[in-house]
Structure 1
Amino acid sequence: MKSIFFDLDDTLYDQLQPFQEAYTRVFSTFTDISILELFKKSREYSDKVFALTESGEMSLEKMHQYRMINAFKDFGYSITTDEADAFQKEYKDQQYKVTLVPEMKNILQYLSSKGIPVYVTTNGPSAHQRLKLESLNLSQWLPKNNIYISSEVGYAKPHKDFFDYVNGKTNTSCSDSYMIGDSFENDIIGAHNAGWDSIWINNKNKARTIEHIHPTHETNSYQQLEELIKLLF
């Protein structure tokens, strides 16, 4: 039987929503920046130093400052560390108020009706990720022990060790595992190297960073994802 492993951020919920709310509250005077493009830039910068935060070489506070200061710099604006901190505080508060993407709720309900095992695999600090998961109210579809967080596992996506660990803990095989996520680097490359199938949710039109690696399937919207899931399973 196939098993489905969902990413959390920007997969089960739309990460732009809390980002946009925080931006409106903290940077309302900056009216000529695309919030979507700023968000994408901030993710690029956080991805660059994610390994440093996992190893403890960079604190989360410094990473949050780094990604926003550099993202704004790309748009010709200079913000202070205090402004970056104020944004992060608001952003964090908004992240604990997130809700499931409507199509994702349909997908989870559908997979549950088919008896297909569902798991969550996510990178990040344990307490932070679990609080977001609690706000999504996923208990009706998966128990808490079906959640694998990098800081608890000891490995992070895209490392093959993370995927191998999850297969071992869930008694699943790589050939029957599907990774569904938005990050080409963490979810798609990681799944490829571990021998998993993958579905890339590319609704923000990102480019593949490694040309010869392709997801098993790619969707450009949650509507497409829901249709694909119902075709595959």
Structure 2
Amino acid sequence: MTAIFFDLDDTLYNQLQPFQSAYNAVFSHITNISILELFKKSREYSDRVFHLTESGEMPVEEMHRKRMIYAFDCFHHRISDEEAMDFQKIYKEHQYKITLAPEMENILNYLSTKNISLYILTNGPSNHQRLKIEALNPFQWIPKNHIFISSEVGYAKPQIELFEHVNAQTKTTASTSFIIGDSYENDIIGANNADWNSIWLNTKQRKMPLNQRHPNYEVTSYQKLEEIIKNIF
């Protein structure tokens, strides 16, 4: 039976929305930076050091602070530790006010009519990720026992062990499992290594790393994701 595993951040919802709200609250005086590009740089840093936060070598709070300092540095702006942490505080507040992308709601409704098992597979701290999931309230489509969070499992994307673990727990197979996610490094490389199928939701127009296998499908908008889902399933 086909199983679809959705990433959480920047997949079930558009992560740029809470980021934009926090930026407007703290950095509205800086008007010469693309907020999308700033967001991409902040994610670039957090993806690079995620394994350190998982292992406990870097406190999550330090990663939050450093990723914004790094992102602004990329655009030749210096911000203080206090500004970085003020931003994170407001960003976190808005992350608990998120809603499903409208097209994602259509997708979940559609897939629920196709006898396809739906899951969430996300990296991150347990409490933080669960509060975001509660805000999205996807439980009419995805049961609470269909949620897998790296910090609870003990493995994180792209580790093959995580993909093997969820296949074992859900009695699904790699060949009939799909992951839909925004992170090439975590979602797509992980899926490729585990012989899963993958759909890269690349709404931020990130470049694929060189010498890597392509996802099975790549889409650049939620609208295109909805179209391709209806073509595949």
Q: State the TM bucket, normalised to the shorter chain.
A: over 0.9
TM-score computed with the length of structure 2 as normaliser: 0.99
CA distance in 2, matches of 1:199, 1:151: 24
Please state whether the residue corresponding to 2:140 is helix, strand or coil. Answer: coil
Please state whether the residue corresponding to 1:158 is helix, strand or coil. Answer: coil
CA distance in 2, matches of 1:119, 1:190: 16
How far is 1:193 from its partner?
A: 0.1
Tell me whether 1:97 sits opposite 2:121 in the alignment: no
Counterpart position of 1:30: 30
Counterpart position of 1:69: 69
CA distance in 2, matches of 1:74, 1:210: 22
Tell me whether 1:147 sits opposite 2:155 in the alignment: no
Residues 205-227 of structure 1: CA deviation (Å, up to 9, x unaligned): 11111433100011111111101
Taking only aligned residues, the RMSD between alpha carbons, in angstroms, comes to 0.6
Tell me whether 1:222 sits opposite 2:204 in the alignment: no
Percent identity for Structure 1 against Structure 2: 64
Residues 110-136 of structure 1: CA deviation (Å, up to 9, x unaligned): 011112100000000000000000011
Counterpart position of 2:166: 166
Residues 79-105 of structure 1: CA deviation (Å, up to 9, x unaligned): 111111100000000000000000000
Please state whether the residue corresponding to 1:39 is helix, strand or coil. Answer: helix
Counterpart position of 1:49: 49
CA distance in 1, matches of 2:48, 2:148: 22
TM-score computed with the length of structure 1 as normaliser: 0.99
Please state whether the residue corresponding to 1:103 is helix, strand or coil. Answer: helix
CA distance in 2, matches of 1:116, 1:212: 29
Tell me whether 1:212 sits opposite 2:212 in the alignment: yes
The 5 A counterparts of 1:75-154 are: 75-154=75-154
How far is 1:142 from its partner?
A: 1.2
Counterpart position of 2:197: 197
Residues 50-74 of structure 1: CA deviation (Å, up to 9, x unaligned): 0000000000110011100011011
Q: List 4+ stretches of structure 1 deviating above 2 A.
A: none
How many residue pairs align between the two structures? 233
Q: Which amino acid aligns with 1:225?
A: L
